[in-house]
A and B are shown apart, each in its own frame.
Chain A
């Protein structure tokens, strides 16, 4: 698990046009630059927005990645709800603060 780098990739993708271009040109090559495990890479690739939320990606980062991947607002919210139902409570990061 490398929630820090998972979030860092999304942070850089959200704000840096060059990273965005690399994402569009060759997502696999971009993914290889970050020390992510297979589950994390798969969640980004699919994308599995619900699993990314459960892993602990901050919504202030995740909502923009979801939008980039074509999610409308309500679909984004539903994807997180589905993720919690499928994968259980948030495991790390800010939303795991209360342990619920």
Chain B
């Protein structure tokens, strides 16, 4: 089979951890689009879900930081954070080591991806799963792009990683779904938390929808840091999904800055 679903969404911990402090109408509007994404995902009847995330020092640290990593286990645990702080209870999430190994084998022909047989999910994976697979009944294959500690993989490589993931999916018999999760401009867990550069976000999303390779991969890290904060480095996850779905129409179901969630909350899908 092939890729049967692709999309992007936000993953900020405030989405679940500080939900009661957001404007109710705005929050419910965002949640409603996340639920709409879940229905589309379910309708695609996937056998597995690849979550391209930008984890935050839950598994990888500066002693040995992979630019790219795929999980290769039959199960994962999460969240690594305090349950009350995140608003998501501890859970076991099924994996699929066999499928992951086959995907990694193909991706490695293009990208020197690491693999991990242990992986503790942080909010970057758990917040999307909380909405998209709330019963944790769909095998997940986590993929990580280092977006936290420079030096960072170039945006063009993140696109290439997406292309390779797509080729790997297309070679499997399983029905595979793909989501990229990250923030656009944001300054999470710093004194500037809550600051959002809406114009920058909308321009990036416009480039994402228009399949504008040059526009999406043209930002230098210094420019991103200046205009979109350190959180802006996470656009790599969106660029990866774009690389995996080049040529397919895309649609933003929701975008609105929600400062208490520290990010412009986004839900986007690809019409494969």
State whether B80 touches A94 (Cβ < 8 A).
no
Complex Cα gap A77–B222 (Å)? 24
Complex Cα gap A65–B150 (Å)? 22
Q: Cβ of B39 < 8 Å from any Cβ of A?
A: no
Complex Cα gap A48–B148 (Å)? 23
Q: Cβ of B237 < 8 Å from any Cβ of A?
A: no
Chain B residues positioned under 8 Å from A34 (CB to CB): none
Kindly report which residue of chain B lies nearest to residue A85, judged by CB atoms: B191
Complex Cα gap A24–B62 (Å)? 25
Chain A interface SS verdict (over half): helix
Complex Cα gap A76–B189 (Å)? 9
State whether B81 touches A64 (Cβ < 8 A).
yes
State whether A97 touches B225 (Cβ < 8 A).
yes
The A-B contact count (CB < 8 A) is: 61
| Given contacts A77-B191, A81-B191, A94-B149, A61 and B57 within 8 Å (CB-CB) | yes
- Taking each of B18, B58, B59, B191, which has the highest tally of chain A beta carbons within 10 Å of its own beta carbon? B191
Complex Cα gap A44–B191 (Å)? 19
For chain A, the count of residues having a C-beta within 8 Å of the partner chain is: 26
State whether A94 touches B230 (Cβ < 8 A).
yes
Kindly report which residue of chain B lies nearest to residue A95, judged by CB atoms: B190
| Given contacts A59-B188, A94-B230, A15 and B80 within 8 Å (CB-CB) | yes
| Given contacts A58-B57, A60-B148, A67 and B82 within 8 Å (CB-CB) | yes
State whether A15 touches B62 (Cβ < 8 A).
no
- Taking each of B61, B63, B148, B190, which has the highest tally of chain A beta carbons within 10 Å of its own beta carbon? B190
State whether B58 touches A62 (Cβ < 8 A).
no
A residues touching B (Cβ–Cβ < 8 Å)?
4, 7-8, 11, 14-15, 53, 58-64, 67-68, 73, 76-77, 80-81, 84, 94-95, 97-98
Q: Would you mind naming 20 contact pairs between A and B with Cβ atoms under 8 Å apart?
A: A8-B61, A14-B57, A14-B81, A15-B58, A58-B57, A59-B190, A60-B56, A60-B188, A60-B189, A62-B189, A64-B81, A64-B85, A67-B82, A67-B85, A77-B193, A80-B190, A80-B191, A95-B230, A97-B150, A98-B226
